[in-house]
Structure 1
Amino acid sequence: MTREAVGNAPVSREKTRTNRVCGGTSAAVLKGLVYAAATLTFAVLLFLIGYILVSGLPHLKPSLFSLHYTSENVSMLPAIVTTVEMTVLALLISVPLGLFTAVYLNEYAKRGNKLVSIIRVTTETLSGIPSIVYGLFGMLFFVTQLHWGYSLIAGAMTLAIMILPLIMRTAEEALMSVPDSYREGSFGLGAGRLRTVFRIVLPAAVPGILSGIILAIGRIVGETAALIFTAGTMAQIPGLTQSGRTLAIHMYVLSGEALHMNEANATAVVLLLVVLAMNALSAFVARKLTKK
């Protein structure tokens, strides 16, 4: 070893030690930022939930759950039933369409297909359109052009179109996350593509698909702008061709009148509980399907 090499050895060790110290400091800073962001997010969530519960729980009373709405009881029970009906109907329309489209894009379409690129760009564009634009489209097409009027079916069709891009993208990402070894193993055992998709790929992608459905449920339950133009604001339990209001619209109408703010706060509590119940049910179904 030369004299220059011997002289540079302590310098190299000092640089290595300095880099380790700087790397450790940077990691600690980043870790602290991550913990701070998580704590802040959790604190904001707790504050929102606590504020809703404190403002609304004292004003919950039996008259708010009467079967029929009147100007005296301002019952939210028709709105609860309408919310469930609207959610189920919109999902029945959008989930099969979105799921089968995602299967085609990921399992059947050729790589580099221009049609696939156009569909993906269109889907991402539709995901960013404000909900009021969907509401105006639903009013012009379903309500006016098809002569459905303000009705449950018009609102459900509008919501189905609105959440379709979300379900398509999340289902496609879930299918992409399934390892190719699953498909290759199935093909190696003699299974066809259709059997491989429905017996191997889709069951493995169920948790991701249900995550997209949960997000879609949250958007449906909290939607107001699109439904005011299509489903209307009638406080009744509607049929497919009748107008009805969801919980979000019910709360919006009560707060807009400024005469029933206490009832609006109580409606917010029920709306929060309905969303939590739907998400818990979806998570329960996901766990059951994953175990199978």
Structure 2
Amino acid sequence: MNRRFALMIDPVTADEQRADYGDTFTHVDAAAPALSVGELSTQRGDGVFESIGVIDGHAQEVVPHLERLAHSARLCDLPAPNLAQWRQAIDQAADECGEGEAVIKLILSRGVEHGPTPTAWVTAAPAADFHAVRANGVRVVTLDRGYDLGAAERAPWLLLGAKTLSYAVNMAALREAHRRDADDAIFLSSDGFVLEAPTASLILRFGDRFVTPAPNGGILHGTTQLSVYEHLAARGFEVGYDRIPASDLPRADAAWLVSSVRLATAISAVDGAPLPVDQPLTDELNTYLLSPRD
């Protein structure tokens, strides 16, 4: 894919029924202005999004992404998205992607301030080249997220389990990692448990068991992590979810950050201490993740 593609959507809620959603999409020039000055919701980060990897025109893990979009919308008190409508928009965007790796973004915001409907759009663009990090791995630092594991349940207004447009903290964490001569970060809860990376899920290996932080405590349930677990389980490995103390992180036999576009990246060091890298398994996981998956 060598160009950007965008669709503006006239949102239809999950309660509405429509046989053909074609008239609810508007093709727009992805390089041209498209939002009203009154679109304060996007400016304030008051919305949700998803990033879907595309391989040779095939959108990956669409159903889990749509389910997570609906979950995030529910947490943010946004209208329930009509998933059939969004699926058709994704299909149109994927058709524009062609060969190679691309990324489709789904964006749903509260819309113009005091307006009657949210603003929604779908974009497609070439993916960045992640071949180097897939081959060489990343060095990570651990950063205190500032909340304990019970914060999400105790204070739901923090929206810790939603994938919101407000990504300033995530980007600040990555800049802090770079200042510490690392490539990425892993958030820790204030009570000392491993959470997730700013833009990826974490998977650890201890012997033949693979474990990821339980999807509570205000972390996202990763769509790519679910796919990796399906592959590992089919290979006969034990996979599971747990509360993982931060002290277990440097003792792992191997670890990966996994995400929809970067795919599987081995962690080569944690807070400056080397971590074993299983490059053959990393390559195997990426071969699998580069195959068409629904």
Q: Which one has the largest radius of gyration?
A: 1
Shorter chain as denominator, the TM-score bin is under 0.3
Greater strand share, structure number: 2
TM-score, normalisation: structure 1? 0.25
**RCO greater where, 1 or 2, for CA within 8 Å and sep 6 or more?**
1
Higher share in helix: 1
